[in-house]
């Protein structure tokens, strides 16, 4: 069965959007859901999404590579804290916004557009 939504996008000349549907959806979801805080599980899933996208990309700039390499550390710590119900300081949760869905989607979008 053909995916008609993707076919329509291609027929109206929006071929560039087809591979970016995932990151664009992630940005919209992040903007809608994470207006006030970033959940611990979101930090985990976002960090793993970064690794998943960037594992196959070449010539990743050092700063982006550092951001992606640190992501799983944050993600695992936040998933562990959720599982054990351990609370962190407010500052720790504020620093986790670096791995919010919107930021993660922008970094993924950058990789898919400029490095793929």
- List, run by run, the mean pLDDT of 10-residue segments along the chain (116 residues): 80 78 75 75 90 90 96 93 90 88 89 84
Could you tell me if residue 86 is left (phi over 0), alpha (psi between -120 and 50 degrees) or otherwise beta? beta
Report whether 16 contacts 108 (CB < 8 A).
Answer: no
State residue 3's pLDDT score: 76
With a CB cutoff of 8 Å and minimum separation 6, the contacts of 18 are 6, 9, 10
Cα separation, 28 vs 33, whole angstroms: 9
Nearest to 30 by CA among 99, 76, 110, 114: 99
State residue 65's pLDDT score: 96
State residue 36's pLDDT score: 67
What tokens appear for 6 in the block?
């993707």
Report whether 109 contacts 16 (CB < 8 A).
Answer: no
């Amino acid at each position: 069965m053909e995916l008609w939504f993707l076919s329509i996008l291609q027929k109206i000349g929006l071929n560039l959007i087809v591979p970016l549907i995932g990151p664009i959806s992630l940005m919209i979801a992040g903007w809608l859901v994470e207006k006030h805080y970033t959940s611990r599980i979101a930090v985990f899933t976002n960090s793993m999404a970064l690794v998943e996208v960037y594992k196959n990309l070449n010539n990743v700039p050092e700063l982006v590579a550092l951001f992606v390499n640190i992501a799983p550390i944050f993600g695992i710590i936040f998933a562990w804290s959720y599982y054990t119900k351990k609370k962190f300081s407010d500052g720790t949760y504020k620093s986790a916004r670096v791995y919010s869905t919107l930021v993660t989607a922008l970094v993924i979008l950058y990789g898919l557009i400029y490095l793929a």
